[in-house]
A and B are shown apart, each in its own frame.
Chain A
Amino acid sequence: MLLMACGGGQKKEFNRLLLDVADKDEVIDAAEWEQIVEFLDGQKAHFRDFYDDGQLDVDDVKEYINDFFENRRPPRKIDIQAGRKTLGVNFYLERSGSMVPYDAVGGDGSFKAAIVQMLNRLPGTNDDSKIYIVNSEINEYPKGFSQFLSDSDIFEATKGIGDASSTDFAAIFQQLLDKTGDDDISILVTDMIYSTKQMVGVNPQKVFAEAQGMTNAVFKSQVKEKGLLVVKMQGSYNGAYYPYNAAGGVQYSGRRPYYIVVVGSNKNIARLTRDEGYLPFSRFSELRGYEDMYLFETDDVYKPYYSLLLDNDQIRGRFRPVHGQGDQIRDIENVEVDRNSGDLRLALAVDLSGMLIDEQYLLDKENYRVEADDPLVIKEIRAVSQNEVSPAERKHLGKATHLFILESQGIKHRQTVGIKLMNRLPQWVEASSSDDDTNVGGPGFSQTTFGLKYLLQGIYDGYRKHSKGEPYYFNLQMTIDK
């Protein structure tokens, strides 16, 4: 700290640059990193410590940046995306028999439209991105990314690649996890129907147990480093459908769910919604046919902005912010209940944007767990309306999108309060799963996928085992003192 304050003008200027690029959003993205490298290059003589034999020591610079922000008020943890420019993309398209009818001539074209829309939203040219056609085996599509996007019939163009009668999910998931490195993401479009060659006549429960065991085994070793997003989509389906125990296909015309699966390292999954280049891609809910999504992730994947408000109509009782905090108020003291109502109400502003979590799930207070010594509950979660926030409060509000109104009968002693958004397999997974798909066109058929919940439960169990206690997405921590 002393070094920073007493250093020359260049050091001050460098610190100012760091504040410019990272103080607000706590991210130094690839473009901002370039800015830093360029500045240092122009001032090499004053930053000899950062150079070894004329080469910039990235770790030294990172360490300096982390130190600088950790020792400031308020301290910040910066996500530095040094050197990682555009992520490589591996796109996997399932081409089993029951996938082709999504892009049939008689359909509404929403399947192809959603895929092209999604892929076009990726930044960069994607020249070195790869496309794989998957079914019983995994084959690279020889014509490349841009040709694939411009093909009028994607399944016609990929005809004859692999055996379309079954899908080897074990191999597909294994490859998705193994081949997704630190500098790329993988996308799989699939109907998520677990089908092996020897399924006719087999008890479906046995198939489900096998599917669940398979995903659990595949994901067990990888959950620490990787996240997986499942987006449920809906498209038109015109053609033969293959129920699990039938030898041949049954004609079906109507709607059917399909799924987009995105796999990436924990950092890259977080980057999708933090890096401006990837923001358009991450807005899956804008895709044609979007229904729902669920993110399999390790704990603390997101670190949203949050701050207690000091002056709001909802607040009951009195308290004082602890010294040394910035605009973000997370620690309060001298907490007293309201004299008239006898209870305490706090208004916590939270930024719920930029997460790959469906809005309905985010706004349901049942999905949150409050951990505190004295009983404290979430009374309400609601969107911030700019009118109800006084100008003086705007600085605490920051980029928050929602207000959590917390209620308590008072606190007895100093305590840490944690508000966790739990990571639970959502309702829609159960609702989208069927144990029997022989009644083609029956009620629920257009909404459900054979055995889906078992496949996803297997993955969930892998993540759950890794988590200490029940998995959660983020934890908002505060201290409250009497």
Chain B
Amino acid sequence: MGKKKKKNRPGKKAAHGHDPVRKAGEHLAAGRFRQAVDLYKVLCKTDRDGFLAPLKAAYEGLYRQRLEKGLFEEAAMVVDQLEKLSGGSAFHERVKLYLKREDYPKAADAAAKVLSAPDRNSDKEAVTAADALVVAFDPVPAESTLPAEVRQDLDRIRSALESVAGGSRQDALERIKLIGTRSLFASWKWLIKGLCAFYGREDEKAVAAFEKILPDTAPAAAAAPYQRLLQKDGWREADAKDTRLTADVCVAAGCGAAAEDLARAEYLWTVKRFRDSHAHLRRTIEDFPTYSRGLVRSLTELYYNTCFEMPPKPAQKYVKHLVRSAFTGKADNTTAQIWAQRSLALYSEEYEDFDPIILEHWEKFIDLYESRNGASPRVRALVYGRLGDLFAEEMPDDNPFSFFFFRRRRKEPDLRNIELARHCYQESVDADPQAFQPQVAQVAFFEKIGDTSRVNRLLDRLIRQFPDEKEVLFKAGVRCSARKAYVKAMNYLERTLALDPMDKVVREQFILTCIVAALQYVRKNNPEKARALLPRALEWSDAHSDDFNRGRAYLYARWTAMAHLLNDQADAAQLWGQAMAHRQGSELKLHFFYWVVAGSYGVALPLSKGSEAFVEKSLKGAFSADTALDCILTLQYANLLSGWISGLRRKKDRVERYLTRGASAEMTRQQVGTVVNFALSEECSRPDIAEAYVRRMLKRNPDDALFRYYRYLVRLQAQPGYGHIDHDRRELETILRLSREQQETTVTLAVQKLLRESDAMPPSGGFGGNPFFDIDDDFEEEGMDAEDDDFLPFFTSPPEKPTPKKKPPKKKPGPRGPQQLNLF
């Protein structure tokens, strides 16, 4: 049984009857224009003047509604009513109606009548009429009574628009030159100016021109998508909801044919329906995805690469969708299949644990690619090369606590999948035997796994195949040097230098090879050959460098030591004279360096006594930051040298004592940083040096990120369990914040690593707690400047660790370690 309609509900009637004015107002405000019109019509009978305006507003609303719904006949009737009410002034609505109905001749006719009328129309009407005349694009009939100036401006605008579309921007600008700013067509003039600037890539001019257009006019609506394209903040998500604007933007951007499809795809994308968005484009754009250039290619890259920006799970779903959509449906789907398979293979690299699956995905990709493009050895070589690199990646240490145990690294790295890496590198080389890069990658792989015989064989082959490749020659040089085939090594390195004389790494490698070769000759008592290598090394040295390897003074000092070894005292004296003459750094540094290399080469002690005396004298004098730094740098270099150096330990102690004297001396922040770095390293046996210097810097600035990080390392060194409890973590977080503020990138990276390692730790107490904090509870305080004295014992060792001088198993290097290269 149907629902009975309640007629003449007393309540409702009463409400109308009681306050129809209020009700009519409510209808109008709520967009219920039909009801509003009915009520206002009744009200107008009692008070026409009072209710005429709201009645017109209700009619206008009703007209807009009908127009939007495409009910043109009803809209026309509403316009008739409006005209009756206002005595024929609903021109604006009538023209819009004609335009909506695409009845341009009628629109133009109505517009011409308005503009021909002897009494001036309202500005709004006149502008609407002008817009209608322009977009009608029909020639004005000769019998029309349009004023001459209107007719002229109209012709100018129309022809200028044709010129814009034809790409004749200059011509368009010429045509609108005579249109005045007070003309009815002024907004069209600005639109054309804006379009000319836009298509001429003069964006600022275009923006300025578009801003001068009157609002609520046809040119304003036409300028909107261009203005949106030119906005600096890119495309906003909110824009996608306005599908009409989106479509207009597509027209302005030259892809009008796909405007609606792109607008839909954009909407779906904005509401995170990425798969639907992709599917929509697959359905509607015939050549999507593509390998050709153009907008569709950009869209292809967007849709097939977007998974790499997604979180893992949505990415997995999306990639599955790409694959399913490519491998089902259309018969000729190879391009989509290649793109989808590529996405799957790249995705699997990130998330697939089982390596053979990754290999399988890429091999399927190669098959698809070759089925479309024919055999592609380069593609094959590149893909296998990439897989080789992937499988040859060094695995991170699986023990997250190794850092806290200061465990030594194993000599051979743990690679991800050696067998697959070996297979892929071989496939890569086999695919394109003439290609250089795959072979170099293969050599690097064998170097990584320590297969030196294979490296040597491959390098020999590479040298024959690519005699002029710098990378090969350099590798061969280094390899020969490691095999102690110095003559061959120097030959390769000189050939490398001939190709790139400015490469500092190659120059340094050559110099180092000359030095070790000369030492060999010295030990074989072949002075001529040893001496002959000095000019060759000097040729590639740097006259203005104070570097221990590349600096000329230090090369002369080395050959001085060699001359002493050969008992050629005259030559030694002459060479030392040269060393002093070419000195770029301090005399102390040169003497100390000479003493170090003489000790390392095995020169008799009396022959380096002079230099030692000089060093001792300097260290006995008043503290100087420069002296301290020179000694530190030399000791750090000495530490890189192989072999035992007589008296070096004593000299280190001497320098350390010297450094303790300077804890309160005037030094720059950078100088203090160098001292702390040294004091924290393995070379230094006095941790209290680092403590004193760090404290002094933090007294100066308690928020210095670098020195707070050093303080953390000092504590860590004193107490290896440190770093594990919440206090320490908070301190690390504070350092991280400060380092970001102070742009201390090295500290930021180091602290981030510590925090990651701390995350992997077991719950607090796993390493026996941290007794350190029992004696220093102030650690977490932020503003420590006032309480700095209370904070003094920050390095004080806990009671159960009474021997602070005891050397820890291995120390964490500071963020600024020595950079010098030394191969012997």
Check if A and B associate: no
Q: Which positions in A face B, CB cutoff 8 Å? A: none
